[in-house]
Amino acid sequence: MDAIFLQILNGLDKGGAYALIALGLTLVFGTLGVVNFAHGALFMLGAFCAVTFQNILTLSRKVKDESITFFDAYKEIPYLEIWFGETGMAIIDWAVPLSLLMAIPVMLVIGLVMERGLIQYFYKRSHAEQILVTFGLAIVLQEVIKSFFGANPIPTPAPEIVAGSANVGALFGLGDTVVYPYWRLIYLLFSLVVIGAVFAFLQFTTFGMVVRAGMADRETVTLLGINVERRFTVVFGIAAIVAGLAGVMYTPILPPDYHIGMDFLVLSFVVVVVGGMGSLPGAVAAGFLLGILQSFASMNEVKSVLPGIDQIIIYLVAVVILLVRPRGLMGRKGVMED
Amino acid sequence: MGFFKLSRRDAMTMLIFIALVLLAPIWLRPFGAAYPDLLQKFAIFGLFAIGFNILFGLTGYLSFGHAAFLGIGSYTAVWSFKLMSMNVIPAVFFGTLVAGLFAVLIGYVSLRRTGIYFSILTLAFAQMCYNLAYSVLTPITNGETGLRVLQDDPMVIDGLFGVVQEGSPIGNFFGINMQGYPAFYFCAVMLIIGFFISLRIFRSPYGLKLAAIKSNQNRMKYTGFNTRPYLLWAFVISGMYAGMAGSLMAVTDPLAGAERMQWTASGEVVLMTILGGVGTLIGPMLGSVLIKYFENIFSAFNKGALHDVFAFMPDWLENLVVAVVHPFVGEGWHLTLGALFMVIVIFLPGGLMEGFRRLSRLRGRKPAK
């Protein structure tokens, strides 16, 4: 029982990341009709926003180390610490959550530039060409990041106060064996909040209403004299922000390197397809579902029966779903069916 | 012998192709590309791309998982070396065959869907193969280390004929060691055979049917035409090409690793095909040669070499140019590749072949003015 509970929790935070990326993918696909293979790169750019922010905060000056007396020793002290003392240290400690503030505008700009600069010319082209050009873009972004930050994963720790693990078991009346890192819990909550915010935005604002109407019947909305395209551009920006935030918050869980986006992208596409192309709830549900399935498959008990299942479970599920329910779990009729 | 009958124009194409391939060590010398390792790569990846083009170019089905067949071909070939003989004929034969069998399985399932779903399904299968090769199948694939031929492997058939391996095992073709130019010519013959088959397919009623599926599958179905078996054949044939290319990789270097199956490798063959020209005969070959050529040249550059190249410029200009160019060469070769990919898809979706066609049309029009 404890083990099962723990695996569900384990699956949920990974599922949260899948769901966030898949949500953005589906949003872009549902509105613009573009299959965006560069979406994983947006996730990666978000993660590197956190890295950059941390680097900025820890800009240091070489100071003579007074505690060592027999020779001249120097240590690097961040400017923030020199200027603000304890407060400065605390700010550095909170680098990852604070970088969310930087990531939102940066990702918005990146998203808008990407859409206006490249994606808009591909609305009328075939899906194969969309896939290819965004695939190329993903490679370019990834290599640019690599040339700036190197190929190795960069550690970006969570704030110290949430570095430990929570005894979740006690909360639910289970044994003491169910302990779980705070940050992963935060990630789960964070992803739920972001997903909720996106849905609320689409459901309860006029802007969202127009977007939904445009998703359902673009032509009619255009005939009503509404500039749908401009709104869809904003939607692309929002999708970029969602992917970026998912990336920022994931950095303490997995130190980012330049191909983290590609790793997530392939999985996220599978998630979108399982959830049903163009269905937002489907993408979210499938994200969490596949996350949980994956963590169950990596239990030793399961692996001893079916060796290697943890490596392929997601793909296996995708194959089965596509063959049994071709539209995915919640896919709409007429989407991507030619 | 109807199979070998070609129209006069195709016969010319074929002859020119054969001449170009066989004489490659000579006419590629001025380009600095005439050494066996690189020539082998040209032939192998050309074969891979030509096969991929039969699926993508003719039917329009974009597979993102063809690297799996490449890997399967390599592993099978190495196992054939290990178990039977260092002779390359069985290795290539079984590599192609086994890849074909896998293609039947994967194709049967994937072809139930079209469009992006097909791409995702093939990608899923390829990733499964890749992940399994790295984890559970380690006894067969030797995991991260890669599968290699060892001296104490059984090699049953070689044992029967009393062939003894000395030194590190090298593939051979009835006594000719598969290294350097002999290996290139072996690959070249395979390439020529592959090109010929592809030419025949393009000109056959079967090829026409595939092209019809690409232009409008629904209409084909409405006329009471079951497209599935034709698509499956196209998938299997292109899978076998990939398997053959994979086994040739093992022939030139008896080693197989799982990284050959990664989806970026699948992306590479798509790029080669697109760069040259999707659906054209020569295009994929051209694309793969260009990419492998520039990969070889660009990735060899480092900062020092760049300074040498631009040494004729004034110092400030030299430094500027080197600073601009440096991120694109050496380690940054993939950046060039990605950018090239985008440029081609954006401006020249038909690839270089379309570019040539446009150029020749321009030239043809000028005198008329």
Contacts of B341 in chain A (CB under 8 A): 132-133, 135-136, 139
Task: Count chain A–chain B contacts defined by CB atoms under 8 A.
Answer: 116
CB contact under 8 A, A266 and B127: yes
| Residue B87, min C-alpha distance to chain A (Å) | 34
Band (pLDDT 50/70/90 cuts) for residue A174 is low
Report the residue of chain B nearest A145, measured CA to CA. B335
CB contact under 8 A, A136 and B334: no
| Mean local confidence (pLDDT), A28-49 | 89
Please indicate if any CB of chain A lies within 8 Å of the CB of B275.
Answer: no
Report the residue of chain B nearest A313, measured CA to CA. B128
H helices of chain B, in order, are 8-22, 24-27, 36-59, 67-83, 88-110, 115-134, 138-141, 156-160, 180-203, 205-215, 217-222, 228-252, 263-276, 283-298, 303-309, 315-325, 333-347, 351-365
Q: Give the nearest partner residue to A308 out of B114, B132, B331, using CB atoms.
A: B132
CB contact under 8 A, A125 and B349: yes
pLDDT at B185: 92
Cα separation of A118 and A41, whole Å? 15
Q: The complex's ipTM?
A: 0.80
Q: Residues of A near B (CB-CB distance < 8 A)?
A: 35, 118, 121, 125, 127-129, 131-133, 135-140, 142-144, 146-147, 262, 266, 269-270, 273, 277, 307-308, 311-312, 315-316, 318-319, 322-323, 326, 336, 338
Residue identified by tokens 């808009």 is A120
| Residue B114, min C-alpha distance to chain A (Å) | 8
pLDDT at B166: 65
pLDDT at B100: 96
Contacts of A262 in chain B (CB under 8 A): 264
- Measured between alpha carbons, how far is residue B110 from residues A25, A61, B47, B68 in Å? 22, 58, 23, 14
Query: Which of A158-172, A265-279, B71-85, B162-176 shows the highest mean pLDDT?
Result: B71-85
A39-57 vs A2-32: helix axis angle to the nearest 10? 110
Mean pLDDT (chain A, rounded)? 84
Burial of A332 (0-12, 13-18, 19+ CB in 10 A): middle
Contacts of A121 in chain B (CB under 8 A): 346
Residue-wise pLDDT tens for chain B (369 aa)? 466 777 888 889 899 999 999 998 888 888 878 888 899 999 999 999 999 999 999 998 999 889 999 999 999 999 998 888 888 899 999 999 999 999 999 999 899 888 888 888 898 888 888 888 888 888 888 878 888 888 777 777 777 777 666 667 777 788 777 888 889 999 999 999 999 999 999 999 999 999 999 888 888 889 888 889 999 999 999 999 999 999 999 988 888 888 888 877 888 899 899 888 888 989 999 999 999 988 888 777 777 777 777 777 777 787 777 777 777 777 777 888 888 888 888 888 888 888 888 888 888 765 544
pLDDT at A245: 93
Give backbone dihedrals phi and psi of B58, rounded to 5 degrees, phi first.
-85, -45
Cα separation of B204 and A100, whole Å? 59
Q: Is B294 helix (H, G, I), strand (E, B) or coil?
A: helix
Q: Is B332 helix (H, G, I), strand (E, B) or coil?
A: helix
Report the residue of chain A nearest B349, measured CA to CA. A129
- The 10s digit of each residue's pLDDT in A79-132 is 777 787 777 777 888 888 888 888 999 999 999 999 999 988 888 888 888 888
CB contact under 8 A, A131 and B62: yes
* B98-127 residues touching A, CB cutoff 8 A: 109, 112-117, 119-121, 123-125, 127
CA A336 from centre of chain: 24
Contacts of B121 in chain A (CB under 8 A): 318-319, 322
| Mean local confidence (pLDDT), A70-74 | 73
Please indicate if any CB of chain A lies within 8 Å of the CB of B337.
Answer: yes
Please indicate if any CB of chain A lies within 8 Å of the CB of B62.
Answer: yes
Residue identified by tokens 């199979």 is B3
pLDDT at B368: 46
Q: Using CA atoms in the order B318, B324, B330, B336, what is the torsion angle rounded to 10 degrees? A: -140
Contacts of A143 in chain B (CB under 8 A): 332, 334-335, 338
Please indicate if any CB of chain A lies within 8 Å of the CB of B276.
Answer: no
Cα separation of A277 and A331, whole Å? 6
Report the residue of chain A nearest B275, measured CA to CA. A132
pLDDT at B322: 77
CB contact under 8 A, B131 and A311: yes
pLDDT at A178 over 90: no
